Amino acid sequence: MNNLKVLSLFSGIGAFEEALKNLKVEHRLTNYCEFNDIAAKAYSIIHNISEEMNLGDITTVDETKLEDFDLMTYGFPCQDISALGEMKGFVDEEGQLTRSGLFFEAMRIAKYKKPKYMIAENVRMLASKKFKNDLEAMLKLIDEMGYNSYWKVLNSKDYGIPHSRNRIYIVSIRKDIDDGTFEFPKPIKLTKTAHEYYDTFATDDHYLRESDMKYLAEFRLKKKYSSLNADVIICQTTKQGNLANPQNFVKDNKGYRVMTSRELLSLQGFKKEHADKLLKNGITKEQIGKLSGNSITVDVLEGIFKELLLKENTYELQDNLHTIIENNEIHNEKQL
């Protein structure tokens, strides 16, 4: 039975959907919305969904023609909030919406459709002093639309994955169904190291050349914002899949290399087999690195969904999820 209807905005490779599948939450995707052609193709490959379900450019979406949905996920663009970007915020100096300002397009859809739940993710900088007013304005808008919102900065390494990645998560629940009991998942002890995710084989194009080594030895391998054979990798970036400016390195008996597509996706909580499928379908390792760096850690989303859906009887999920958790089936199914 298809219980939970989901609209996925700014979908990327579908971390929210991966989390729902891992938790065996009965759900049906109404549409996904991804502007980037490569990301849309990868999403469809990973989730076995036709690209015809992609709404494409969110600014052209007609909210009046969308099917009703219960949950809206929207990991809206971070480029104008991130410390690595221009930090313009939601509106530029000319009064135009930035890429991060596409948040308001998601709100346009939500205001009309009134889903029960909305979940957003973005960079930690959104919770900083610089963007305090922007965050408060966001929360006020969502409140005026009829939602109670809960937000917190969570680090992936606190939820079972050896990847230090701080992100802000915003969970909004429609006021008429919110009982005020939602809490973000509590941190758990990290029992795995990144070494357990490393592949035993990498092709030659992953290894640093002599020219790469000179630059990287000076500016990357010795700096705190890079990691080499780390127990916990530092935050993946969109450059992680290529040799030009990656952050995480592995040293083995063949030399120094960047991480493989399988390693990168698995350290975001995706199954390694997804990387194999993407590569077989023409997505390059550089593109997979960018997609992984742009994605959300699945394990964190699993924790949020447990807290949100376990306390709701609307979809008759409680018994099912308790059984899954008790049997530890979720992590047993993941391919390391």
For residue 34 the two structure tokens come to: 């991804």
Q: What is the pTM of this model?
A: 0.89
Average pLDDT over residues 186-202: 96
Percent of the chain predicted with pLDDT > 90 = 67
pLDDT per residue as tens digits for the range 96-111: 777 777 899 999 999 9
Cα separation, 322 vs 313, in Å, equals: 13
Pick from 130, 99, 121, 259: which is nearest to 195 by CA? 259
Q: How sure is the predictor about 156, in pLDDT bands with cuts at 50, 70 and 90?
A: very high
pLDDT at 75 over 80: yes
Who has greater pLDDT, 173 or 313? Answer: 173
pLDDT of amino acid 221: 58
Average pLDDT over residues 98-127: 92
Average pLDDT over residues 39-54: 98
pLDDT at 219 over 70: no
CA dihedral in degrees (234, 240, 241, 245; nearest 10)?
-140
| Three-class SS of the chain | CCCEEEEEECCCCCHHHHHHHHCCCCEEEEEEECCCHHHHHHHHHHHCCCHHHECCCHHHCCHHHCCCCCEEEECCCCCCCCCCCCCCCCECCCCCECCHHHHHHHHHHHHHHCCCEEEEEEEHHHHCCCCHHHHHHHHHHHHHCCEEEEEEEEEHHHHCCCECCEEEEEEEEECCCCCCCCCCCCCCCCCCCHHHHCCCCCCHHHECCHHHHHHHHHHCCCCCCCEECCCCECCCCCCCCCCCCCCEEEEECCEEEECCHHHHHHCCCCCHHHHHHHHHCCCCHHHHHHHHHHCCCHHHHHHHHHHHHCCCCCCCCHHHHHHHHHCCHHHHHCCC
Name the fold adopted by 4-186+297-333.
Rossmann fold (3.40.50)
pLDDT of amino acid 314: 46
Q: Which of 64-68, 213-217, 278-282, 293-297 has the lowest mean pLDDT?
A: 213-217
Name the fold adopted by 194-294.
DNA Methylase; Chain A, domain 2 (3.90.120)
Percent of the chain predicted with pLDDT > 70 = 85
pLDDT of amino acid 102: 85
pLDDT per residue as tens digits for the range 303-325: 999 999 866 544 444 444 444 44
Who has greater pLDDT, 175 or 327? Answer: 175
Q: How sure is the predictor about 158, in pLDDT bands with cuts at 50, 70 and 90?
A: very high
Cα separation, 23 vs 334, in Å, equals: 11
Q: How sure is the predictor about 87, in pLDDT bands with cuts at 50, 70 and 90?
A: low
pLDDT at 189 over 50: yes
Who has greater pLDDT, 224 or 285? Answer: 285
pLDDT of amino acid 312: 52
Domain boundaries, the chain: 4-186+297-333, 194-294
pLDDT per residue as tens digits for the range 132-143: 888 999 999 999
Active site residues: 78
pLDDT per residue as tens digits for the range 241-298: 777 667 888 989 998 899 999 999 999 999 999 999 999 999 999 999 999 999 999 9
